[in-house]
Amino acid sequence: MATPPSDGAYTFDNGAPDAVPQMRALESFLDPITMRRLARSVLRLGSHCWEVGAGGGSMARRIARAVGPDGGVLATDIDPTHLRADGNLTVRRHDVRTDLPPGDAFDLVHARLVLLHLPERRRVLRTLAGALTPGGWLLVEEFDCTTPVRVLHAPSDDAAKLFAQVMDTMMGVLQDHGADLGWAQDVHTEMVLAGLTDVDTCTHSQSWAGGSTGTSLYETNSRQLEPDLLAAGLSPQQLTAFRRLVRDPSFAVMSYHFVSTRGRRAS
């Protein structure tokens, strides 16, 4: 989604030129993981669902197919530029920080890579939990960025150090924009405090080779944050070398650490 940080500027703007490749890379990596978390015990035919910060809409479309014509999905985003209504999928512009929940209670509420960017993340999580029907599920998924991304193989030690330097600077920029890099570790506890039951968490990471869809996410993020990265002390030459490195097939790195937490409102 387009995520408004504490300083009022947008960290990742849905209207920016690099928004589409960013969303496509995330969807390729994360959609299969998310669908495994939405097993039949969670996502059922006829369910009514809310996809929060729907971004490019891939998960909203998948969920809409899964619930069938008797169910429905409401996809919301602060900037719904890339969302299209279709059949049982409806779209609405919505700011989860300030707007009331959009409509009746939901059997499923899903928010992926949304709350970590919001200073009001704890209050928003309680709002999402309160929008559930009795027995409904909340699924919140985030990147845990507290541990540096591990380089598995690089053409040289200098290349590995460059990658680490750019990534460390990137994480600093996100923090300056209001992101909580360790929020993923808190979601389980916050769901329990919100009164949800059957709370469980699983994590996922995998290796990405240079030139893959996965490493393209690092390159795209470096372009989206380029003005801030330069202001933080990186040079244009360093960013060019970083982008060349993540396209190098001899380079290999671990993905961001993805944390998926779900909980159910008591019946």
Give residue-wise pLDDT tens across range 189-237. 999 999 999 999 999 999 999 999 999 999 999 999 999 999 999 999 9
Structure-token pair, residue 109: 């509420």
Residues shown for the chain: 267
Structure-token pair, residue 45: 């035919």
Q: What pLDDT score was predicted for residue 11? A: 63
Average pLDDT over residues 52-81: 96
- Interval 152-190: pLDDT, tens: 999 999 999 999 999 999 999 999 999 999 999 999 999
Angle (CA) 109 126 146, round 5°: 85
Calpha distance 105→129 (Å, rounded) = 10
Query: CATH fold of 19-264, please?
Result: Rossmann fold (3.40.50)
Average pLDDT over residues 134-146: 97
Residue type, 97: R
- What ranges do the domains of the chain cover? 19-264
- Is 69 strand, coil or helix? coil
- Interval 22-31: pLDDT, tens: 888 999 999 9
Please tell me what DSSP assigns to residue 42. Answer: T
